[in-house]
Amino acid sequence: MQGKHTTICNYIENVLDSVLSDEASTIKQSYLVLEVIKEPYGFLFIPRYPTNLVLNTDTYYRIYDIISAAVFPEYTCVRPTSMQLVEVDGEQLATARGFYFPGYKGKKQRFVGTITKIVADYDLNKEIPLMRGLTVGRNATTWIISGNTGSGKSYALRYLEEIISRLTNQNGDEPAQVIMIDPKKSDGARYAKKHSEIKLLIPEDSDRPEDFLTRVNAELAAVVNEMQLRQSKLYEVSNKISTDANEINVPPIFVVLEEMASLTLGLASTSRQVKDLYRELELIALLGRESLINLIITSQIARNDIVPIPIRSQMNVRILLGRIDKATVQYLFPSMIDGLSIPIGGLGTGIIEINDGKHYGIEPLAMPTITKGEES
């Protein structure tokens, strides 16, 4: 990796000098900061050996905390989920490695407008826009949205529902299939009621918790069966090693589970129905990508007893809205317990981590504001 010593680098070095020199005066002038001006953008912190700096995780996030606040809002630093120690090209051994802090100039902007206006410049079968400058690749097929009451989970889910209703198969002649599961008969159910193309599962008035969950499990089992059929057909017809079900021209399927905690409320975690639920969801989360089976889960909190680790660990997109503190980040962003990103205020705002091969860590998020003009 290479970088260039720019004006912002002088500023960062002065900031680091003023903070770190209080801890160890010999640190001053023992490092260099470079700006990475080609993708992947960001900054390099290069210590000159011998140095009393220990390049470990604690030092990495200590320096991140200093730099990220100092350069905002002219630059936004992305908080990596692990220490980024990289080789510096063309340097002698004393300066041949450094910390890499991903980032970009400015800050990404919230979309405000109609859905048609927001998506006009994007190919939705390739990426889903969340902010101006922030998109999620369609290879990220599992989402979890968490946040306290009033944080904007339903607001975020409404936007995603509008997006996925516009997705199709590869040829563009068959729309995405959406299965909405809403135990609370809340926003998701009311949205689906107005859109007959969405398959809606809600409890009947006479249902016990286990009755509704049994029907949900049957629907999920049917999705898993379709996933296996697609995998078999793809295996038979494709000569490619890396591929997905776009090759057989089937539409994506989205399973949307709103407020997952409500689905198992009143049932023991050891009950057969709950175990079946977790098994089907784990299969979809683990194996759904190639067959274009997508999973979106919302939950006020993603505790282990609500979203088990085997499911949660497969989530490609993790969104936390509303209050950001040690208590709320521990399940989706455990590495953030010390040192939090800079939040953006307002409804539907928080932080996001995207695992689609193009993103590096945790970023601020402000979900789009859909204006009137398109009633759905």
pLDDT tens, position by position, 285-310: 999 999 999 999 999 999 999 999 99
Q: Which residues of 234-243 are buried (b: 16+ CB within 10 A; e: fewer)?
A: beeeeeeeee
CATH architecture, range 112-370: 3-Layer(aba) Sandwich (3.40)
Higher pLDDT, 364 or 360: 364
Tell me the CATH number of domain 7-105, given options 3.40.50, 1.10.12, 3.30.980, 1.10.8: 3.30.980
The answer to whether the beta carbons of residues 280 and 288 sit under 8 Å apart is: no
Between CA 141 and CA 285 the distance in angstroms is 8
Between CA 136 and CA 130 the distance in angstroms is 7
pLDDT in tens, 128-178: 999 999 999 999 999 999 999 889 998 899 999 999 999 999 999 999 999
| Per-chain mean pLDDT for the chain | 91
Higher pLDDT, 257 or 28: 257
pLDDT in tens, 98-129: 999 999 999 889 999 999 999 999 999 899 99
Half-sphere exposure of 151 (CA within 13 A, CB side): 24
Between CA 376 and CA 373 the distance in angstroms is 10
Tell me, what's the pLDDT at 340?
55
Between CA 352 and CA 253 the distance in angstroms is 23
pLDDT band at residue 27 using 50, 70 and 90 as cut-offs: very low
- Computed on alpha carbons and rounded to an integer, the radius of gyration of the chain in Å comes to 23
Q: Where are the domains of the chain?
A: 7-105, 112-370
Where is the binding site for ATP, in residues?
Answer: 147-154
pLDDT in tens, 228-276: 999 999 999 999 999 999 999 999 999 999 999 999 998 998 899 999 9
pLDDT band at residue 341 using 50, 70 and 90 as cut-offs: low
Where is the binding site, in residues?
Answer: 147-154
Tell me, what's the pLDDT at 328?
87
Decide if pLDDT at 25 tops 50: no
Decide if pLDDT at 21 tops 80: no
Tell me, what's the pLDDT at 23?
55
